[in-house]
């Protein structure tokens, strides 16, 4: 601001704080009247009093730094969070909401035309937009997880039969068949338990039978080291079928006690 007298002229000048384009100087001090892009605002940040200096220039006395508003900060944070989690299974909904809010707040903050808001506002809008796009990936991954878990918990109809259950040479030998009564090829997990005279743990065994075609019968024969688990079992034990499931989802047993 160029002023030649000891009493600076009251007028609009470039905002010394950098928060807006122009700020009104009343001849004694900077005021809260500001403008950007031809639009006038009232700036809540109060600048220090301006006094005429000996060189004929006014001292703006700006003691406060430009402060970024909360909407711009929220836009960036929500946009980044939305992008980070919107593609993950089961987190797609909260991720998409965060991403949408990031875009919305980013646009609002950018339209305020405050220079200190622009970087955060743009970051929030861009990352939020990317998060909305990644929500499509989140829907896809969630559907995959649901399908895999459903295949584990609800295998195609079956008919399982144990044809041999015996303890011989320190091992438990199990033979049997499983018929696929469904209309698609399936993998089965047959969970067995062998009761005995004592309540011992570790009597449960699992047999996997893969690629059983519809209306076809798969056979299995498995041998399990006894390791003292079946010492009290009679010579002709009974193998009880506790449950039949599909393949483990992603190799993880989500129901180890089944």
* pLDDT recorded at residue 36: 86
Taking 60 as the threshold, does the pLDDT of residue 37 lie above it? yes
Candidates 78, 76, 26, 33; CA nearest to 52 is 26
For 141-192, what is each residue's pLDDT tens digit?
A: 999 999 999 999 999 999 999 998 887 776 788 999 999 999 999 999 999 8
User: Quick one: tokens of 6?
Assistant: 């000891």
- Going from N- to C-terminal start, the domains of the chain cover 11-59, 70-153, 158-247
28-42, 46-60, 129-143, 242-256: segment of lowest average pLDDT: 46-60
Of 7-11, 20-24, 26-30, 142-146, give the lowest mean pLDDT range: 7-11
CA distance 223 to 178: 17
Q: What is the DSSP string of 190-226?
A: EEEE---SS--S--EEEEEEEEE-TT-EEEEEEEEE-
Task: Indicate if the pLDDT at residue 74 is higher than 60.
Answer: yes
Per-residue pLDDT of 84-102, as tens digits, reads 999 999 999 999 999 999 9
DSSP letter (8 states) at residue 254:
S
Q: Establish how many alpha carbons lie within 13 A of residue 127's alpha carbon, considering only the half-sphere containing its beta carbon.
A: 26
Look at residue 101 in the predicted model and tell me its pLDDT: 96
* pTM listed for this prediction: 0.58
Give residue 133's pLDDT: 96
**183 by DSSP, 3-state: which?**
coil
Who has greater pLDDT, 57 or 22? 22
Q: Does 118 or 200 have the greater pLDDT score? A: 118
pLDDT at 52 over 90: no
Greatest mean pLDDT among 49-58, 103-112, 189-198 lies in: 103-112
Q: How confident is the model at residue 113 (pLDDT cuts 50, 70, 90)?
A: confident
Which residue matches tokens 């836009």?
75
Confidence of residue 124 (pLDDT cuts 50, 70, 90): very high
**Could you tell me which residue, 166 or 219, shows the higher pLDDT?**
219
Q: Mean of the per-residue pLDDT values for the chain?
A: 81
Q: 158-247 adopts what CATH topology?
A: Immunoglobulin-like (2.60.40)
Q: What's the order of all strands across the beta sheet hosting 240-245?
A: 204-212, 186-193, 240-245
Over residues 116-132, mean pLDDT: 92
């Amino acid at each position: 601001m160029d002023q030649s007298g000891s009493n600076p002229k009251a007028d609009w000048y470039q905002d010394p704080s950098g928060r807006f384009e122009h700020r009104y100087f009343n001849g004694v001090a900077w005021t809260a009247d500001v403008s950007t892009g031809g639009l006038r605002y009232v700036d809540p940040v109060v600048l220090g009093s301006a006094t005429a200096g000996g060189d004929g220039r006014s001292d703006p006395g700006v003691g406060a730094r430009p402060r970024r508003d909360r909407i711009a900060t929220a836009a960036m944070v929500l946009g980044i969070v939305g992008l980070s989690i919107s593609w993950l299974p089961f987190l797609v909904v909260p991720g998409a909401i965060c991403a949408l809010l990031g875009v919305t707040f980013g646009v609002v903050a950018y339209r305020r035309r405050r220079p200190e808001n622009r970087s955060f506002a743009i970051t929030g809008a861009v990352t939020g937009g990317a998060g909305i796009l990644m929500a499509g990936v989140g829907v896809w991954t969630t559907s995959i997880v649901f399908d895999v878990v459903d295949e584990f918990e609800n295998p195609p109809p079956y008919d399982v039969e144990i044809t041999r259950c015996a303890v011989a040479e320190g091992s438990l030998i199990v033979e049997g068949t499983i018929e696929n009564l469904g209309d698609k090829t399936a993998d089965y997990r047959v969970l067995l338990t062998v009761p005995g005279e004592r309540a011992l743990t570790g009597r449960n065994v699992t047999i996997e039978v893969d690629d059983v075609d519809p209306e076809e019968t798969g056979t299995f024969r498995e041998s399990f080291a006894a390791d003292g688990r079946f010492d009290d079992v009679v010579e002709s034990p009974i193998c009880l079928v506790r449950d039949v499931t599909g393949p483990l989802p992603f190799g993880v047993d989500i129901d180890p006690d089944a």
